[in-house]
Structure 1
Amino acid sequence: MKTISLGLSLGVSFAAVAPALANDDVLKRTADPKQQVLQTVDYANTRYSKLSQINKDNVKKLKVDWGFSTGVLRGHEGSPLVIGDIMYVHTPFPNNVYALDLNDSGKIIWTYQPKQDPAVIPIMCCDVVNRGLAYADDMIFLHQADTTVVALDAKTGEKKWSVVNGDPKKGESNTATVLPVKDKLIVGISGAEFGVRGHITAYDLKTGKLAWRAYSQGPDEDMLVDPEKTTELGKPIGKDSSLKTWEGDQWKTGGGSTWGWYSYDPKLDLFYYGTANPSTWNPKQRPGDNKWSMTIFARNPDTGMAKWVYQMTPHDEWDYDGINEMILTDQKIDGKEQPLLTHFDRNGFGYTLNRETGALLVAEKYDPVVNWATKVDMDKSSKTYGRPLVVAKYSTEQNGEDVNSKGICPAALGSKDQQPAAYSPETELFYVPTNHVCMDYEPFKVSYTAGQPYVGATLSMYPAPNSHGGMGNFIAWDGKKGKIVWSNKEQFSVWSGALATAGGVVFYGTLEGYLKAVDAKTGKELYKFKTPSGIIGNVMTYEHKGKQFVAVLSGVGGWAGIGLAAGLANPTDGLGAVGGYAALSQYTALGGQLTVFSLAD
């Protein structure tokens, strides 16, 4: 989800890439598996490493090599970066940054400690997390909780420029990383629970000057869409495509925030991202499809103009934000090689699209318990083509009335939230950390006041019934067929990002705090180690002086761990997560630590 410490009672690489099209420095360094300069590992968001020194035969020999305390308690999402001989570590609010010398036992080279108004904390929806730093052109980029975007000199920590991207007084905040593309820095915004109007923005990489901003809803010129050239499922979206789907001027407080992950195809010169839930969470109060919330966008990074869109959950009734990562691969499907985009949505469907045209190729459930819709209509001759076929029983607005709908699967945090999946070109499988959780959802009428919660729903969450009793699975997914290949059961949701490697090993973390390594082909568990706190960070790997290391941030929190992170006890607080994950406190406690592993000599 986004991000509420609120106790709310409501929740591949590309062939033939032309380097001149992208940021040369980023392309060069992402091609070197010894380093990691982006949270997504590469522009394609594959989270795949070509390093193979650690493999499925020797991974059982992993040991803790060294560690580092961040000095901050709360949820630690994202991962460190490694550029040359320096590791860069970030923290949740207050968003401190550490540069550590890998040649000197992780000695601190410099520290950046921003001074932020703590008033931003109550408007961060599901913990004060931050999904990490990015690097380009000798600068480290940080998007702070208070929406200040900062460029730091990578060697000295000196601030090169900063710019304010939003207004916390209106409920705008940030939890996401950023994406350097060419001479631009792409950044998003959080705050749909406060009725913000979502947007994606590009700043000049060298100066921080605003280049363009595209809103998620509103007039065509605000959204940077061309009614005749921007398409959905191959057809022009038409004039005022967004305005026609909102009642009156509700689009002005319509949500659609952009707090997730961004990917980029240098060959097509398009970047991809998703938009979040419409505001309010009470669907009765906002009739219509509420475009373009819950939508995948493909945009030109130079101008911001949208080439195509696809709305996955029209008129959302469940908070199924569409912000999860877009993984870009080139594979054969329907008998021909195609540029693909694979997306595991909060709504429980795994989508595969042609990323050049936006054509919908696959849409299947990646957790069998998903019940709010029977399927996505794939009949191109149908009036409902591309739309989910909603089961009336699980609608949260029935016969024009607010109802307490029970047994909805998945819960609002989705079959997967922001925790990123990985892809291996060797197996052609996606490795997906998932939530196996259902909910009861009762909307109520709410009024908009700037800077105040604009939710209007009470939620209760619990493990999927008639299942394995746990709240998570870690699965391997065939994106071409839309099928689960294997699935590992977990006691709690898998809130950590996955990492696939050329060694045939896939890594992920668990909410109890285990770093796990499994066989990429079979899912067999090969190694596990319990770190000091629950893991919601993303596993990363790098090489230094000829030796491969694996690193992960521990620090329980995020939406699933908000009860622990913020000290909440009411079961419906944290948008319903506090009650659902109450047992987590029996297995882990707050922490903030980096743990680095290597093979035993």
Structure 2
Amino acid sequence: MRRSGCAVALLMTSALAMPAFANDDVIKNTSDSKQWAIPTGDYANHRYSKLDQINASNVGDLKVAWTFSTGVLRGHEGSPLVIGNIMYIHTPFPNNIFALDLDNENQILWKYQPKQDPSVIGVMCCDTVNRGIAYADGKLFLHQADTTVVAIDAKTGKEVWKAVNGDPKKGETGTMAPIVVKDKVIIGISGAEFGIQGHVTAYDIATGKRAWRGYNVGTDDQILFDPEKTLSLGKPVGKNSSIKTWNGDQWKIGGGSVWGWFSYDPELNLVYYGSANPSTWNPAQRAGPDGKQIDQKWTMSIIARNVDSGVAAWAYQMTPFDEWDYDGVNENILAEHEINGKTHKTLVHFDRNGFAYTLDRTNGELLVAKPYDPDLNWSSGVEMDKSKPNYGRPTVVASKSTFLNGPDVNSKNICPAALGFKDMQPAAYSPQTNLYYVPINNVCMDYEPFKVSYSPGQPYVGATLSMFPPEGKTNTGHVIAWDAAKGEIVFSHDERFSVWSGVLTTAGGIFCHGTLEGYLKCRDQKDGKELFKHRVPSGVIGNVFTYEHKDKQYIGVYSGVGGWAGIGLAAGLDKPTDGLGAVGNYAGLKKFTDLGGSLSIYSLP
């Protein structure tokens, strides 16, 4: 959708003048703690439940209440939805959906089985995962692997409408969970490793008609940035804020895909998300005509967009001129914190690059930027002095720069690895403690860029990676509690493997997560003490959730190892540098778990 800069400005003005109303059905359902009505728990991405029947004093008594096999043997990310007495379960490719009747022995009411060309599997970067479905106004919304957005009647399982969101022949695929806001369902696109031009698109929930599309790289009319009103670190972005930071037309295959999580502030009418890496992974091929670094905006960025128009209110780039594949797609958690004597409406983001950011979500002001794992070594810190020309930018340690070291040079021992100290597995916030509970990948890497040519639908990576634990360590995971106002770790507990599971917090004073080798664990929010541990059928990369049915609280999680960390098992890979470097680091997983695809539900006796 092309618009002149003037038209974009008018759109921004008119949109901000409109009253902001979230989707009433989503608000009603997420306000009912008995349900799990949105993949992120609520619009703020807290992943917190007010249920407290299961609590720190009795969680150790949990027993398996029931299980369900999905029939699919690949990585199971995300979580089911629970609306009333119906549970909706989704799967990886082929993206089946089940509706289970919780009132009638969990019988299958219907099963939706989309027909997709299996060739799409070959252009899915890091397993055939799907992160969830959305529900509103009696419809479920699914983003299929082949990029088709489908609205499904929640009572019958029948297709209501569908819209094609991308082209797998170009490497575009669908893996993320949609969000429904007002009369729109909003979805991103995956495929930065194939040189796509990443975007976010809004569709009308009643008809499937496209309302707007905002690219993350491109001309002002494509990215829907107003040169005078869209802010970055307190200043207008200016004309051509994206394309002037690219060499020639490289932005057309520039990456910046969107496959993480959305959050939404109804008062500001802004939807927040992160954009992914620039293409290619070889930074030398993305340098300017003078051979110097250029930012490649707006990849690796948090972007806040007006829901009605798609026009960006502000953007902040975490890792300009990325040299390490530090995608910025991780969740943005909305809360309030007092910082330097002032209470801010904040956005908290645990980036792949290893820094935890606290920003003012009204305008994108940077408040805190600190490492959330002490092994970070690629940067000496983010400049916080507003008077400095590099304000808001990380200072790169020269020896860890894959650009300065040059192509065909293997840069050694960079921490974190490309999969970040945290990938898309979401953290959770607890209003009881005002802390964030974060799943950690404690992994480092060697990174060797090489020249690669672009061909539509073919991998456009250009780097060989090896991954391993930090020096002197054997474990590759932690769970931590984080103080977002101070930028400090409150406590940390080691895990054998990366914690690739999303966290749940509850009013019962607990937080729960899965482990890659296949455990569900619940811990005390105060100190992280392990209170419950139980083996599930396969490794966990799903997100823990909870609901109440017939006055009884349940906690559940998908098992089914896979995703980037488990791609060796999921895709049968064994070369250490396969899976973009992950296979070697997680080779030990096969001693503990194997493929699966099931849901485990727990309750008190």
- TM-score w.r.t. structure 2 length? 0.95
**SS of match in other structure, 1:398:** coil
Query: Which SS does the other structure have where 1:397 is aligned?
Result: coil
CA distance in 2, matches of 1:576, 1:559: 9
SS of residue paired to 1:222: helix
Where 1:21 maps in the other structure, the secondary structure is coil
Cα distance between partner residues in 2 of 1:219 and 1:398? 29
Conservation of the 8 A alpha-carbon contact between 1:19 and 1:27? no
Does the 8 Å contact 1:19/1:266 carry over to 2?
Answer: no
State whether residues 50 and 501 of structure 1, in contact with CA within 8 Å, keep that contact through their aligned partners in structure 2. yes
Residue deviations 1:432-470 (CA, integer Å, cap 9, x gap): 001000000000000100000000000000011123x20
Whichever residue aligns with residue 244 of structure 1, its letter is K
Aligned counterparts of 1:568 and 1:65: Cα–Cα separation in 2: 35
Matches for 1:455-470 after TM superposition, within 5 Å: 455-467=461-473, 469-470=474-475
User: Could you tell me which residue of structure 1 aligns to residue 570 of structure 2?
Assistant: 565
Partner of 1:108: 108
Change in 2 beyond 3 A, CA 1:262/1:99:
same
Mapped to 2, the partners of 1:442 and 1:50 lie a distance apart of: 47
The reply to whether residue 406 of structure 1 matches residue 412 of structure 2 is yes
Work out the CA distance in 2 between the residues paired with 1:31 and 1:477. Answer: 26
Matches of 1:449 and 1:20 in 2, distance apart? 43
- Give distance in 2, aligned partners of 1:210 and 1:248: 30
- TM superposition shift of 1:19: 10
Q: CA deviation at 1:357?
A: 1.1
Output the amino acid matched with 2:26: V
The answer (yes or no) to whether the contact 2:380–2:394 under 8 Å persists in 1 is yes
Between the aligned partners of 2:545 and 2:53, the Cα distance in structure 1 is 14
Instruction: Say which SS state the counterpart of residue 29 (structure 1) adopts.
Output: helix
SS in 1 for 2:349: strand
Partner Cα separation in structure 2 for residue 400 and residue 570 of structure 1:
25
**TM-fit CA distance, 1:402:** 4.2
Using the TM superposition, give the Cα deviation of residue 403 of structure 1 relative to its aligned residue in structure 2, in angstroms.
1.9
* Residues 470 and 491, structure 1, Cα contact 8 Å, conserved in 2: yes
2:221 aligned residue: 221
User: Are the counterparts in 1 of residues 79 and 544 from structure 2 also a CA contact under 8 Å?
Assistant: yes
Q: Which amino acid aligns with 1:393?
A: S
Structure 2 unpaired stretches of 5+: 1-17, 288-293
Which residue identity lines up with residue 599 of structure 2 in the other structure? L
1:465-514 CA-partner distances (Å, limit 9, x unpaired)? 123x2000000000000000000100100000000000000000000110
Query: TM-score if structure 1 supplies the norm length?
Result: 0.96
CA RMSD of aligned residues (A): 1.0
The AA in structure 1 aligned to 2:436 is F
Alignment partner of 1:336 is 2:342? yes
Counterpart of 1:539 (choices 535, 544, 561) is: 544
- In structure 1, what is the Cα distance between the partners aligned to 2:522 and 2:132? 23
Map of 1:505-520 to 2, 5 A cutoff? 505-520=510-525
1:575 is aligned to 580
Aligned partner of 1:295 among 284, 289, 301: 301
Output the CA distance in 2 between the equivalents of 1:248 and 1:538: 41
Counterpart residue identity of residue 377, structure 1: E
Equivalent residue for 1:438?
A: 444
The letter of the residue matching 2:244 is K
Deviations 1:101-158 (A, max 9, x none): 0011110000000011000001101100000111111111110000000111111111
Which secondary structure state, in structure 1, belongs to the residue aligned with residue 126 of structure 2?
Answer: coil
Distance (Å, rounded) in 1 between the aligned partners of 2:19 and 2:283: 45
2:188 is the counterpart of 1:183: no
Partner of 1:13: none
Q: Which runs of 5+ in 1 are unaligned?
A: 1-17
How many Å separate the matches in 1 of 2:77 and 2:405? 41
Structure 1 SS opposite 2:568:
helix
Equivalent-residue separation in structure 1 for 2:343 and 2:399 (angstroms): 40
CA shift, 1:397, in A, is 1.3
Are positions 1:95 and 2:95 aligned together? yes
Out of 321, 325, 334, the residue aligned to residue 319 of structure 1 is 325
Q: Residue type matched to 1:191 in 2?
A: G
Matched-pair contact (CA < 8 Å) for 2:20–2:267 = no
Q: Is residue 2:590 matched to residue 1:585?
A: yes
1:333 is displaced (CA, Å) by 1.9
8 Å CA contact 2:378–2:415 kept in 1: the answer is yes
Looking at structure 2, the residues matched to 330 and 389 of structure 1 have their Cα atoms a distance apart, in angstroms, of 28
Identity in percent: 68
Match of 2:529 in 1: 524
Equivalent residue of 2:444, what SS?
strand
Partner of 1:500: 505
4+ long deviations beyond 4 Å = 399-402
Matched residue count: 582
Q: Is the 8 A contact 1:284 1:402 kept in 2?
A: no
1:322 alignment partner AA: G
Residue deviations 1:188-208 (CA, integer Å, cap 9, x gap): 000000000000000001110
**Residues 508 and 515 of structure 1 are in contact (CA less than 8 Å); yes or no, is this contact kept in structure 2?**
yes
Q: What displacement does 1:86 show?
A: 0.3
Distance 1:301 1:173 in 2: 23
SS at match of 2:222: helix
SS at structure 2 position matched to 1:451: coil
Indicate yes or no: 2:266 matched with 1:266. yes
Bigger relative contact order, structure 1 or 2 (CA pairs below 8 A, ≥6 apart): 1
Counterpart contact for 2:379–2:394, Cα < 8 Å? yes
Whichever residue aligns with residue 573 of structure 1, its letter is D
